[in-house]
Amino acid sequence: MVDLGLIDRADDRPPYRQIAAALRRLIAAGRLPPGEKLPSETELIAHYGVARMTVRRALQELRGEGLVVAEHGKGVFVRSSPPVRRLASDRFARAHRKQGKAAFLAEAEVSGHKAAVDQISVTTERASAEVAERLGLGGDGRVVMRSRRYLANGVPVETAVSYVPESIAAGTAIASLDTGPGGIYARIEEQGHQLGRFTEEVTARMPTPEERKALEIGAGVPVITLVRTAFDLDDVPVEVCETVKVSHAFVLEYDFPAR
């Protein structure tokens, strides 16, 4: 059993915070490594000599921080993190596409992860107001919508939905399940829209229940949302991609001139 310490009634912090702090320290120090089971509520109650609610408040604080995950009927476990993936802003370089690699897979190769894609679905529908605006489409603009989920080493890390104007996607592999070598962007360039620049809008928030399910994360784990718009050399928007990433699995890197 790990060293849990004791509650100091003279401490100005309430007992539940002291218990949370003790557990947090053990996790940070690696004495409770990822995947390890914490002492059960019953054990913590006996050790600290407090009521169950007090122990539960401490555990709840750690859950809120995303440090631990409770599994009903099994116990409370230290959360194991997926590998961190650094996304550099040159990850869409044409050189990668020329080699037949989509961005996610090319990046995974550099990072040494085993990348996979699943839950692919492709439909054609009317663009939402927001997507239509970003793509510069009229009121009834139709788009091919591709959604999929990315996994690193078998762990879900990101969901993505791409929207390409039907005028560009129609009759190409963009509208089929397999987009072919180089991915969507290679197909778009083949349609005569050579890519010129990207914009990305990044923010973070707590996931919706649906996102928690798709990404297999507990409450208390934030997500990064990234909306990328691709423009061709005439500055015409040719794709919008909305992604939701598990926050602790990504570091986004950007490099820009001082101007």
- Contacting residues toward DNA, per CB under 7 A: 14-17, 38, 40-43, 50-54, 56-57, 59, 70-76
In angstroms, the CA 259 to CA 247 distance is 30
In angstroms, the CA 90 to CA 100 distance is 16
**Pick from 58, 67, 53, 81: nearest CA to 5:** 58
| 214 exposure class (CB count in 10 Å sphere: 0-12, 13-18, 19+) | middle
- Binding a second copy (rule: CB under 8 A), the pick from 31, 52, 98, 205 is 205
46 binds a second copy (CB under 8 A): no
Rank residues 63 and 101 by Cβ distance to DNA and give the closer one: 63
- Binding a second copy (rule: CB under 8 A), the pick from 25, 47, 142, 248 is 248
**61 phi, psi to nearest 5 deg:** -65, -40
- Binding a second copy (rule: CB under 8 A), the pick from 11, 71, 210, 253 is 253
**160 phi, psi to nearest 5 deg:** -145, 145
Q: Compute the least distance from the CB of residue 76 to DNA, in Å.
A: 4
In angstroms, the CA 154 to CA 131 distance is 31
Amino acid at 170: A
Binding-residue pattern over the window 226 to 245 for a second copy, x denoting contact by CB under 8 A? ----x---------------
Q: What's 86's DSSP letter?
A: E
Amino acid at 125: E
Q: What Rg do the C-alpha atoms of the chain give, in angstroms?
A: 23
- Binding a second copy (rule: CB under 8 A), the pick from 48, 150, 163, 250 is 250
51 binds, among a second copy, DNA, none (CB under 5 to 8 A by kind): DNA
- Binding a second copy (rule: CB under 8 A), the pick from 15, 23, 27, 61 is 61
**Which span (44-52, 144-152, 158-166, 213-221) binds a second copy, by CB under 8 A?**
213-221
Q: Token match 């019953």: residue?
A: 42
Q: Compute the least distance from the CB of residue 97 to a second copy, in Å.
A: 10
159 binds, among DNA, a second copy, none (CB under 5 to 8 A by kind): none
Footprint on this chain of a second copy (rule: CB under 8 A):
53, 61, 64-66, 89-90, 92-94, 195-206, 219-224, 230, 247-248, 250-259
